[in-house]
A and B are shown apart, each in its own frame.
Chain A
């Protein structure tokens, strides 16, 4: 299991949502190679998670490991915007 664990909370599983997953995955691969676990979660299928994890909007990226947890509300519809979101998500974790 990789140390970097990320959840991507999406509204649903439309082609658009799947594209957001793909863009996020590409952005992460560019940043950290294959050293991450990315789990997409559809809130239509798992609405209870919005309460458990305090997710109020989609898409939201949540880094749960390493601590501390970080949540980023992001536009993931392009590689460029997904890259910006991933940079922000990993910001606390990166050495300068």
Chain B
């Protein structure tokens, strides 16, 4: 069965970079330009993996994450952010609520997007970094 990936980011260049990195993989990649749009899409489809920008106008990443978790507690959600302290303050509030998320550091290149996506969506669920070889 085809795996579905959702990318939620207000930056069109970032959305494009994910789409390009994952083309020819066989995964279905959907993109949303806002948190509101992303939530709407999540309500209408089942995703196996979500990439979520932290800093967006309107609903920001933490608000979107909270709403995602109300709908689906299992889907892996990677919060995509530069690792600056002021951004992390928002995530600490989420942490206190016990809401599950992972971190993906910006900027992220196509090779690493592909590496991570394969590690999440394919057996055995792990992959070696840098040398980019499977077991």
Bound together = yes
Interface of A toward B, CB cutoff 8 Å: 11-16, 43-44, 47, 50-51, 54-60, 70-75, 81, 84-85, 87-88, 91
| Alpha-carbon distance A13/B100, docked complex (angstroms) | 9
Q: Chain A's nearest CB lies how many Å from the CB of B55?
A: 15
The residue that A57 contacts in the complex, of B84, B104, B128, with Cβ under 8 A, is: B104
Task: Tally chain B residues at the interface, Cβ within 8 Å.
Answer: 34
Quick check: B95 and A12 within 8 Å, CB to CB?
Answer: yes
User: Is the contact region of chain A dominated by helix, strand, or loop, or is it mixed?
Assistant: mixed
Quick check: B95 and A73 within 8 Å, CB to CB?
Answer: no
User: Is the contact region of chain B dominated by helix, strand, or loop, or is it mixed?
Assistant: mixed
Quick check: B85 and A47 within 8 Å, CB to CB?
Answer: yes
Q: Chain A's nearest CB lies how many Å from the CB of B8?
A: 17
The residue that A43 contacts in the complex, of B103, B124, B128, with Cβ under 8 A, is: B103
Residue-wise interface mask of B (65-101) relative to A, using a CB-CB cutoff of 8 A (1 in contact, 0 not): 0000000000010110001110010011011001111
- 30 of the cross-chain contacts (CB-CB < 8 Å) are A11-B103, A12-B95, A14-B99, A14-B101, A15-B98, A43-B103, A44-B91, A44-B95, A44-B103, A47-B84, A47-B85, A51-B83, A54-B130, A57-B105, A58-B103, A70-B128, A72-B127, A72-B129, A73-B116, A73-B129, A74-B125, A75-B126, A81-B124, A84-B125, A85-B124, A85-B126, A88-B126, A88-B127, A88-B128, A91-B135
